[in-house]
Amino acid sequence: MQTSIGLLVLGARLYTRARIVRNVGWDDWIMVLATILAVMTSIVVTKEVQYGVGKHAAYLPPPDLIKAVKWIWLSTPMSTLSACFGKISIALLLMRIINRNKYYRFFLWVLIGLLLAINIVLNIITFIQCRPTWWLWEQLNPMTKAHGTCWNPDIQKFYGYFQGSFSAFSDLVLALFPILIIKDLQIELKLKAALCSVMGMGILATVAAIVKTVELKNLATPDFTYNAIDLIYWFISENWLIVIAACIPTLGPLYFVLLGKRTAESYAAPSRPGSGGAWGGNNWKWPGIRSWKMQSVRSKTSNASSSGGSLSRMEKGHGSLGGSVNYSSHRSVDERSEAELVPIKNVGERGSTILKTTHVSVS
């Protein structure tokens, strides 16, 4: 079920970005990579079950026991890196929204670096703790004449606790981080709550990561194939919950197009020459909210009408509020073509969206 939903929302995300918004970025491609790894993890887990994972080790013939444990170990890099790349995709998505806040961007880049480093070290430890590597599972073969050595299993277990704890922490941070952005939007409170709920679905992944970390205690038990079943279930759940939570917030344009409230053309972002068009290139701007410093049309038109020297030009990426303003023709496409994330109702015909503001002088 999780796999089907995850693939469905990823397909909808790619369709939205490629056909409606026409602005596919690196966050989308990294999410595709995370999903591929999640699918591979699910396939490997199926192999594990075929060889006896979920059954007591005492009832498994030695060849099946060895193969089951082998596939459990081989699933480690796929499952951990799927979650890692999924969270990196979310961080890049958030940076599209807050592209002008250097402190938030720095924090997210640090988080990305730590996610990569911690998960890569985990996988290195996993496969060098025994020499040779295949001794991880071959040591269970009572008929083997080979010899190998392994570290104290507590090293793998305790680092696993650290990695799992950081994974849960990063899930929670990425789930709550949008609140810092959305709280300053001048939109209705219920709309703020709705946006926070949608973009904060990663809290479910946080729960999965916490339970998964607790279940790591079963890594070193004699009845590993039976005791590991909860651990396996929760690391699969974390992977797919991250995919689902990361994709749903990007489906706003598709939702409003399907309802007939908007047209695909109104969302389309023109491509910068040589940037690769809709398929990424250097166009990193989030096709939704340009910046967290936004105002509604109603409030800004009021301010503009009472001001004699300047006007905050209200922009939707494909039009303006009106009036005579100086607007540089050298401004990049990224700065002037943004599609809206959600509409704001009851603010007038020209104010039906969350808009960005750019302060310019009146000619």
CATH code of the domain containing 43: 1.20.1070
Same domain (yes/no): 356, 240: no
Boundary residue ending a domain (258, 279, 314): 258
Same domain (yes/no): 243, 301: no
Q: How many domains does the chain have?
A: 2
User: Distance between CA 266 and CA 252 in Å, rounded?
Assistant: 13
User: Distance between CA 229 and CA 231 in Å, rounded?
Assistant: 5
Contacts 24+ apart (CB under 8 A), 276-282: 277/22, 278/17, 278/18, 278/21, 278/22, 278/23, 278/24, 279/18, 279/24, 280/24, 280/25, 280/26, 280/28, 280/29, 282/334
User: Does residue 349 belong to any structural domain of this protein?
Assistant: yes
User: Does residue 268 belong to any structural domain of this protein?
Assistant: no
User: Does residue 273 belong to any structural domain of this protein?
Assistant: no
Per-residue pLDDT, 311: 38
- Domain holding 64, by residue range, is 2-258
Per-residue pLDDT, 270: 53
User: Distance between CA 128 and CA 119 in Å, rounded?
Assistant: 14
Same domain (yes/no): 319, 221: no
Same domain (yes/no): 171, 300: no
Q: Which stretches of the chain score pLDDT less than 70?
A: 99, 185, 220, 268-363
User: Does residue 170 belong to any structural domain of this protein?
Assistant: yes
Same domain (yes/no): 245, 134: yes
Boundary residue ending a domain (232, 258, 284): 258
User: Does residue 25 belong to any structural domain of this protein?
Assistant: yes
Per-residue pLDDT, 269: 57
Q: Is 0.85 topped by the overall pTM? A: no
Per-residue pLDDT, 271: 46
Per-residue pLDDT, 296: 38
